Amino acid sequence: MIRPILKFGAAELQRESEPVETFDGKLRDLARDMLETMYAAPGIGLAAPQVGVNLRLLVVDISAGEEKGNQIILVNPEILEAEGEQKGEEGCLSIPGFTAMVDRPKRIRIAGRDTRGNRIELEAEDLLARALCHEVDHLDGILYLDRISFFKRDLIKRKIRKLIRSGDW
């Protein structure tokens, strides 16, 4: 089931999400819905707070569903190590129509659980590292706008306020 994606301005996007404690069918339904919602958008990552669920769960597929084997579902993710840096253009399904250059680590090691509670650990670099860092940020109530210059952020926020006023957001 495709769920509505909350947009910038929604309070749910700016709060810290709670760790998942119950690895049940409801969690698996949520993960499946999030993947479906992400692919339909289309996007390469989605975090539970973006669909209004206050839990530490993210999905990422940097092929946006074009290639098999790229799907990542991580529950209670934790970045164990980060090294290097990369600059790149980043967008967010909750901030449609905008992008900005964001600094991220070049490589990360990340751990978490699958939806059955099994521990997962993986290494990621380049775009995958960027996408995972972006989604983990969502679980802490952080948007990429919080990681860019004041001037760029202010410019985007003013444009969004204009869209809100005209009913186009």
Task: Establish if 92 lies at the interface with Ni ion (CB under 5 A).
Answer: yes
Per-residue contact flags (x/-) with Ni ion for residues 39 to 78, judged by CB under 5 A = ----------------------------------------
In this complex, which beta carbon is closest to Ni ion, that of residue 62 or of residue 92?
Answer: 92
Single-letter amino acid code for the residue at 24: D
In this complex, which beta carbon is closest to Ni ion, that of residue 2 or of residue 166?
Answer: 2
In this complex, which beta carbon is closest to Ni ion, that of residue 21 or of residue 159?
Answer: 159
CB-based contacts of 61, cutoff 8 Å, min separation 6: 35, 38, 39, 44, 45, 70, 71, 72
Q: Which residues pair with 58 in a beta bridge?
A: 47, 74
Closest contact distance (angstroms) between CB of 94 and Ni ion is 5
- Are the C-beta atoms of residues 51 and 33 closer than 8 Å to each other? yes
Piece of 69-77, 90-98, 124-132, 154-162 that binds Ni ion (CB under 5 A): 90-98
Q: Which residues are catalytic?
A: 135
Residue spans of alpha helices (H) in the chain:
25-40, 126-139, 150-165
Give me the residues that bind Ni ion (CB under 5 A), please. Answer: 92
